[in-house]
Amino acid sequence: MIFDRRAFLHACTRAGIASPLLPGILYTLAAQAQEGAAGGAKAAGLAKINGEMIDRAAELAGVGPFTAAQKQMMLDGLNGQREAYAEIRALKLENDVPPAFVFHPEKAARPLESNCTPKKCSTPGDSGSMDSGIVTIPNAPARIEDLAFATIDQLSNLLWHRKITSLALTQMYLARLKRYDPKLHFVITLTEERAIAQAKKADEEIAAGHYRGPLHGIPWGAKDLLAVKGYPTTWGAGGFEHQVIDEDATVVQRLDAAGAVLVAKLTLGALAMGDKWFGGRTRNPWNPAQGSSGSSAGPASAVAAGCVGFAIGSETLGSISSPSTRCGCSGLRPSFGLVPRTGAMALSWTMDKLGPICRSVDDCAQVLKTIAGPDGEDISAAAVEFDWSPALDWRSLRVGYLKSEFDPLPPLKLKEPSPGETPDQKEKRGASNAQMQVERARREYDRRYDLAALKKLGAMDVHLIPVELPKLPWGAMTPLLTAEAAAAFDELTMTGRDRLLTEQGTEDWPNDFRIARFYPAVEYIQANRARTLAVQQMAKLFDEVDVIVTPTSDTQLTATNLTGNPAVIVPNGLRGADAPQPPLVDDGDHDDIGGPGTPVSLTFLGGLYQDAKVASFARAYQRATGFEKLHPKL
């Protein structure tokens, strides 16, 4: 077929594309593609997207207009997004590969009846589930504040034996929240009146012999994307400071039913990105000059600072893992669908997960056991249980490790001077090379902790099996997240209210939402089909092993969030005095910049809905190392 410009323009006009520029661009691109397919001398290629193209495309899509500054911010993202299409196309998806989402019309039409029992939903933790038991009668400390860093098991033991009261414990944590919030900025709203009433009720019930389980009377904090009746639910974002959602999220209802005491709604980066919210930046208790990372910024900071008994965070792409690493907490990111998200802010319907951030893996397991299970409202919730038992024999588990992540780092490739390099270009190249060298030094330093973990596992008689992640274009699938997020917050972009958000940089939500408007529907579906391959190949990997040991960052974080696999993040020691010094400015992009005396972490991965196995193994490692007992000196 020979392309005819006149016929092509006529066809565009008939199709309703009236602008003379856009059909001209389309014609040029089509002609280039045909030339490449025909083996012409000139390779097929696409012109770089420019501001004029954005204007025409925005007009066709019915969005915008965008300012010159906004268009300039979008250009790199749009060109990079288009490059990602090629990586997905290179997979040559067969016709029998479906997208990685499921449509349930019957569930959307009416809520399903929950298939979890009343005990499973509301009172799953009874005295029989407490690992250490309640046989040994503990003694209360002279000062109740000495319990600030106690575990759930320790606190519940004291409460059960009536050595302390929930009211005294609640008042202690409320006082610490008020004392340290000016320094760490982790509170959005104290729920003091609600907490005092819950604590008094818990004391009355325990005194009457009505024990609801190991969370009964324990104060906790909620990431402020969980709705709580009578209190603002701000999502950490400018423009939503006074938003009130008149319901309790399912997770809140379940913790209420378990007798837990909600003391605060804690910070999150605006609309679940980073650690900057409308009131400032949440800080790392180990180094308050730095942010806590995010987006579960407040939950991790408050737990690490001994200001709540435990917290609930969420993760879409690193939001439990990253702040748990930076703040030295234990975090459990459950399998996708294990915990219902009813009453929680939606960012990505196919990736959002709610999970606990605590002081130990034991604590995480107790909390997850309380909040897991379908609620008949969240149509993505899976009809599976978190079958946790501390008695599970972790020695029977097959344990793999991502070998390439523990191998020596490849040689550092610094940027070479280009012909005709200007002084300005030379200066930029030098700065870039210096930054790469600094980042390499930090990674090399932290690698010693990764290798020490393998050595420790060997001392535990764990036979480590080398494995690798499936070789797939993981990064090219991540625009799925921003496409869903842009849909979830469509009104912000369309009305211009996105200008109220605190952060307005190239990598922040307002710019990401604008870029996502140009993600083609076909490419979204193709990326979801690639995601199906990812889920299938990851399942095959976990046919070979039960648990995988890995550093917390890098490719696995993207991969397992796309596939929905669970992860347990544990503290893995503190950097020494010889650690590389932290940068003067924390850009929020790296978790390894804490400097001397700050925590490092290790991650354990598992198969879908095999969360209990992962938690059991992570618990064994934690008990063998004891790093969860280290706390910042505030």
Amino acid at 614: V
Give the active site residue among 295, 322, 324, 348: 295
Q: How far apart are CA 273 and CA 618, in angstroms?
A: 27
Amino acid at 72: Q
Query: Which residues pair with residue 357 across a beta bridge?
Result: 311, 331
Round to the nearest angstrom and report the end-to-end CA distance of the chain.
Answer: 73
Is residue 223 among the annotated active site residues?
A: yes
Give the active site residue among 114, 122, 156, 319: 319
Parallel, antiparallel or unpaired: strands 280-281 and 276-277 = antiparallel
Dihedral angle over CA of 41, 42, 45, 46, nearest 10: -140
Query: Where does 430-566 show beta strands of DSSP type E?
Result: 464-467, 547-550
Which tokens go with 589?
Answer: 């992009």
Residue the block writes with tokens 């609309």: 271
Give the active site residue among 71, 122, 166, 223: 223
Write out the DSSP string of 455-493.
Answer: HHHHHTT--EEEE------HHHHTHHHHHHHHHHTHHHH
Q: How far apart are CA 428 and CA 472, in angstroms?
A: 33
Which tokens go with 537?
Answer: 């190949």
Q: What's 217's DSSP letter?
A: T
CB-based contact 320:357 (threshold 8 Å): yes
CB-based contact 450:406 (threshold 8 Å): yes
Is residue 633 among the annotated active site residues?
A: no
CB-based contact 445:580 (threshold 8 Å): yes
Catalytic residue positions? 223, 295, 319
